[in-house]
Amino acid sequence: MPEIAEVETIKNDLFAAKILSQKIVDVKIFKPSLINTSKKAFVHKVKNSRIINIKRIGKYLIFVLEDKFLIIHLRMTGHIFLKDQNHIFQKHEHIALIFENKKMLVYFDPRRFGKFYLRDDLSSLDKLGCDILSKSFIFDSFYEKLKSKKKNIKTLLLDQNFIAGLGNIYVDEALFLAKMHPEKISLNITKEKAKDLFFSIKKIISKAIKNRGTSLGKSRSNFSSIYEDFGNFQNHLLVHTKKTCPNCFSEIKKIKVSQRTSHFCEKCQN
């Protein structure tokens, strides 16, 4: 579930917690299947490395180490928690990076779909579409890309190789704000409507980041940032998980698009 707003919140919190420039003095791996190398190689390459930058591209969180990149995808239920050195490991806490300042980052993931990739460079992310928070996410190229495809808009917006960062929640919200049906064929979208959609995406994501992401429940599986603190954007959702349209009070419809449940208003979105 963590989408761009949640991963950006985690990244911002890691900067605020002064993780940057920390040296990783120890590594614990309880579930080696979550890393892309052998446990031994991972520990060998990560231990004694310093974190020289923290980035986010799409839904990927990236720790730039001295000569490696640790790329993390949280998938459905991955979390990054900041704990003290006296932390007692609990169920579903699979990996820990321990720092010289006695703090540690703990990777918690009940469903274990997340993954840690240790790479020499970021070329594995080259195929991703434009990150929607990057300066290169501009209307003209977004519109041009829309016009080059003949797919329903929801499928396209969820496709990380089309644009990077959005998932089910924020696509539902952006389409509602732009008054666009999730099954609208991209080729048929007018320039004016495409503009509405482009600015709706920006508006929704910026508001979601200000609200520290969306937590759709209060269990430990739901999104929370590094202090296990929940987001607040669930209180601002207009259509996702809702029963009634806030504009016209019609019943919110649910259909499957790209195997994901889409929430939308038949009257307001066409």
The encoded tokens of residue 178 equal 């732009």
Using the contact rule CB under 5 A, the part of the chain among 74-82, 167-175, 232-240, 260-268 near Zn ion is: 260-268
CB of 238 to Zn ion, least distance (A): 10
CB of 214 to Zn ion, least distance (A): 21
The encoded tokens of residue 241 equal 């998980």
Interface with Zn ion, residue 157, by CB under 5 A: no
SS3 123: helix
Interatomic CA distance for residues 125 and 129, integer angstroms: 9
Query: Catalytic: 192?
Result: no
Where are the strands (E) in the chain, listed by range?
Answer: 24-29, 53-57, 60-64, 69-73, 79-84, 93-99, 103-108, 115-119, 130-131, 163-164, 253-257, 260-264
Query: Catalytic: 110?
Result: no
Interface with Zn ion, residue 205, by CB under 5 A: no
Q: Which of 115, 207, 260, 267 is catalytic?
A: 260
Look at residues 26, 170, 178 and name the one whose alpha carbon lies nearest to residue 106: 26
Interface with Zn ion, residue 268, by CB under 5 A: yes
In the list 76, 138, 187, 248, the residue contacting Zn ion (rule: CB under 5 A) is 248
Where are the strands (E) in 58-194, listed by range?
Answer: 60-64, 69-73, 79-84, 93-99, 103-108, 115-119, 130-131, 163-164
CB of 270 to Zn ion, least distance (A): 10
Interface with Zn ion, residue 41, by CB under 5 A: no
Interface with Zn ion, residue 180, by CB under 5 A: no
Instruction: Return the residue nearest Zn ion (CB atom).
Output: 245
Interatomic CA distance for residues 122 and 114, integer angstroms: 18
CB of 181 to Zn ion, least distance (A): 12
Interface with Zn ion, residue 245, by CB under 5 A: yes
Interatomic CA distance for residues 242 and 252, integer angstroms: 7
Using the contact rule CB under 5 A, the part of the chain among 31-39, 141-149, 159-167, 246-254 near Zn ion is: 246-254
Residues contributing to the site for Zn ion (CB under 5 A): 245, 247-248, 250, 265, 267-268
